[in-house]
Amino acid sequence: MSKLDLLEKHLLDRGPLAIAVSGGVDSMTLAVVAHRASLDTEMYHAISPAVPLESTALVRRYAEDEGWNLTIVTAGEIEDPQYLANPANRCYYCKTNLYATLSQQTELTIASGTNMDDLGDYRPGLEAAKEHRVVHPYVETGISKTQLRDIAKSLSLTDLQDLPSSPCLSSRVTTGIAIDATLLPVINLVERELWTTLISYLPLQAVRCRILPDSVTIQIDSTEVLDPNSEYNAEVKKIVRRIFKVNGFDSYSNNISIEPYKRGSAFLIETLTVQ
């Protein structure tokens, strides 16, 4: 039995779920499979300054194309002082707000796009999921990130199968630096413009705009950009400087560095403080 067949059978046996759809490949693929297995499946997408507008647009488009029963919610994490303090377990407060909100919206069991690979990381959001009895169909069927991408490919979900991983925009802010809701969309603007500018010339897998105290580090998986003497290096800094200045964050525009991409490098677990 293929992983897709296994997942479909598992979802049919479970019955309709309420799926938290972020706009990433994990939850989007799960939503497609679950809806096709049961038309009573409900989809919920939370909007927030930490969620890129592109993600919300993708969710809305799939909802229309696939005929989802989609509800857009505001989870309210951006008003939670524990979340805004940005401790290492910030994701716990994010998911606590999200799942509490969804629990008020539906009587169905809530499901997430957590997959097997996620279990090897520090994921405080999983504790919030446990507290709200959220289920994880990929984990229950032993499906990894690569395998769920294969499922997306087998379903001809071409705009999902290679969709780069992109955690929430708050993950770009170094642990311990307070989350500024007005800064998050600017971070997204920087990443989107850099991606759009460079992808025509260079093979890219990731672009991250990392926020440090009064400085910005741009992380890109490209040796051409990392070369301080290259035209790409100068162009990247020019773009970043302009976007931060235009949006009123001059302090960041004056101190920009470029480094190799490193997953999760804004996350400092040694600063963990439970609020």
Helix (H) / strand (E) element for 209: namely strand 207-212
Q: Which fold, 3-161? A: Rossmann fold (3.40.50)
CATH T-level assignment (fold) for domain 169-269: GMP Synthetase; Chain A, domain 3 (3.30.300)
Q: Which of 178, 212, 174 is nearest to 83 (CA)?
A: 178
Query: pLDDT tens digits, residue range 113-170?
Result: 999 999 987 889 999 999 999 999 999 999 999 999 999 999 999 999 989 887 899 9
- Tell me, what's the pLDDT at 275? 41
pLDDT per residue as tens digits for the range 182-199: 999 999 999 999 999 988
Q: Kindly report, residue by residue over 42-66, the tens digit of the pLDDT.
A: 999 999 999 999 999 999 999 999 9
- Pull the structure tokens for residue 17: 């779920």
Q: For residue range 249-262, what is the model confidence (pLDDT) as tens digits? A: 998 888 899 999 88
SS3 at position 116: helix
Give DSSP secondary structure letters for 3-40. HHHHHHHHHHHH---EEE--SSHHHHHHHHHHHHH-TT
Alpha carbon distances (Å) from 30 to 7, 41, 43, 55, 264:
9, 11, 10, 15, 24
DSSP class per residue in 166-201:
---GGGGBPTTSPP-TTTHHHHHHHHHHHHHHHTTT
Alpha helical stretches, state H, the chain:
3-14, 25-37, 53-66, 81-84, 90-105, 125-131, 137-140, 145-154, 158-161, 184-198, 223-226, 231-246, 250-253
What pLDDT is recorded for position 268? 66
pTM: 0.92
For 27-46, what is the mean pLDDT? 97
pLDDT at 270 over 60: no
pLDDT band of residue 273 (cuts 50, 70, 90) is very low
pLDDT at position 271 is 44
Give the per-residue pLDDT at 85. Answer: 98
Name the more confident of 217 and 165.
217
Domain ranges in the chain? 3-161, 169-269
Sorted by sequence, the CB contacts under 8 Å of residue 116 that are 6+ apart come out as 138, 139, 142, 143, 144, 145
Q: Is pLDDT at 228 greater than 80 in this prediction?
A: yes
Tens of pLDDT, residues 76-127: 999 999 999 999 999 999 999 999 999 999 999 999 999 999 998 788 999 9
Pairing of strands 215-220, 207-212: antiparallel
CA dist 233 and 204 (Å) reads 14
